[in-house]
Amino acid sequence: MSTATSSAISVMRHHRSIRKFTEQALTDDQRSAILASAQAAPSSSFLQASTVIRISSAELREQVMALCGNQAYVGSAAEFWVFCADFHRHLQWVPEAKTGFAEQLLIGAIDTALMGQNALTAAESLGLGGVFIGAVRNQPHALSDLLQLPKGVIPLFGLCMGHPAQDPEPKPRLPANLVLCENHYPAKFDEAHMQAYDEQVRHYYRTRTGGKKEMSWTGQIGDTLAKEARPFMLEFLQQQGFCIR
C-alpha cells in the first residue's frame, strides 16, 4: 500500500465529529482547497446540482444558529457552510429544462452529500475538524427565506469546520459483516453480532459520558424512529419545486 493511499485511508477511518473549536480562522488557501476537493466529487450526468453557501456574516450566523436549535458550534466554528441541492441554476441558463421529478431530488441529494463528504475529508486531511448539521432542515422555510433560496434550491445540511479544541474517540461503526452482503440481501442479520455491537456502543457512551448515558445502537434506533421526523418536509420540497411529479 502506498504512503499516499495509506494516509487517505487513515484520515477517513479516524473521522470524529468535532463540536468544539479554537478561535483560529481558516486561511484562504485552506478554504480554496476544501472547496476544490468538494467540487471534485462525482456528479450524476455531470449535472453538478449543488450550491454551497458560506455564512461569513456574524449576524447571519447567529440567525442561522437559532434556526438550527441553537447548537453553539454552529456559531463558534471558524467556518459554517450550507450545502444545497440546486436545480435553479440549470433553469437560469436552460429555461426549457424539465425539473420537479423525484429522481432529480435523489440526484441533487446524492451529489451534494458526496460534495460534503469530500469537503470534510479534505478539511480533516489539513488537520482541521468538523461536524455535519442536519438541523438546517429543522425550519427549512425560514432558513430558505433567510438565505434567499429561490425555487429549485433546498438546504440539505450544514458543515461546521475549524481547528479542533477537543479530541474525542471515533464512534464505533457496525461490524463489516452486518454491512457488506455477498450477492444478495440476507434473510436475517446475525443476532450475536448485533448484540456484540450493541454492547460496544453502550461501552462507548458509558465511557464518553462518565456513566451518564447507557444506550445501545438498537435502543437509539428505537428512539429515533419512534415517530416521523420533520413531517413538513414533503410540503417544503414541493414548494421548492421538487417531487411534484
Domain with residue 72: its CATH number is: 3.40.109.10
Number of independent structural domains in the chain? 2
Please check whether residue 77 lies inside any domain of the structure. yes
- Residue 66 and residue 106 in one domain: yes
Give CA–CA dist 243/69, Å, rounded: 27
Specify if 245 maps to a domain.
no
Say yes or no: 201 and 231 in one domain: no
Question: Could you tell me if 104 and 197 lie in one domain?
Answer: no
DSSP label of 149: P
**Are residues 194 and 73 part of one domain?**
no
Overall pTM > 0.85: yes
Instruction: At 196, list the grid cell.
Output: 456484540
Whether residues 203 and 234 fall in one domain: no
- Residue 1 inside a domain? The answer is no
**32 shares a domain with 120:** yes
Residues of the chain with pLDDT under 50: 1
Name the residue among 104, 134, 101, 103 with its Cα closest to residue 116.
Answer: 134
pLDDT at 1: 47
Give the pLDDT of residue 6. Answer: 72
**Domain shared by 133 and 21, yes or no:** yes
Q: Which amino acid is at 174?
A: L
* Of 60, 35, 56, 200, the residue nearest 123 (C-alpha): 35
Regarding whether 127 and 198 lie in a shared domain, the answer is no
Distance CA(127)–CA(240), nearest Å, equals 37
> Distance between CA 74 and CA 138 in Å, rounded?
14
Q: For residue 54, give its domain range.
A: 14-167+227-239
> In terms of domains, do 105 and 56 share one?
yes
| Residue 150 within any structural domain of the chain | yes
Same domain, 32 and 148: yes
| Sheet with 50-54: strands ordered across | 50-54, 79-86, 153-162, 129-133
Please report whether residue 9 resides in a domain. no
> Does the residue 43 lie in any domain?
yes
- Tell me the sheet residues that pair with 84: 51, 155
Find out whether 105 and 51 touch, Cβ atoms under 8 Å: no
The string of pLDDT tens digits covering residues 66-108 is: 999 999 999 999 999 999 999 999 999 999 999 999 999 999 9
* Residue 41: count of CB within 10 angstroms of its CB: 19
Does any domain span residue 7?
no
Residue 4: predicted pLDDT: 52
The answer to whether residue 42 is domain-embedded is: yes
Asked if 51 contacts 108 with a C-beta cutoff of 8 angstroms, the reply is no
Q: Which residues contact 30 (CB under 8 A, 6 or more apart)?
A: 123, 126, 128
Q: What is the pLDDT of residues 159-188, one digit of tens each?
A: 999 999 999 999 999 999 999 999 999 999
> Which grid coordinates are listed for 198?
450493541
Q: Are residues 41 and 95 in the same domain?
A: yes
From residue 153, give the alpha-carbon distance in Å to each of 15, 145, 232: 29, 11, 16
- Whether residue 54 is found in the same domain as residue 129: yes
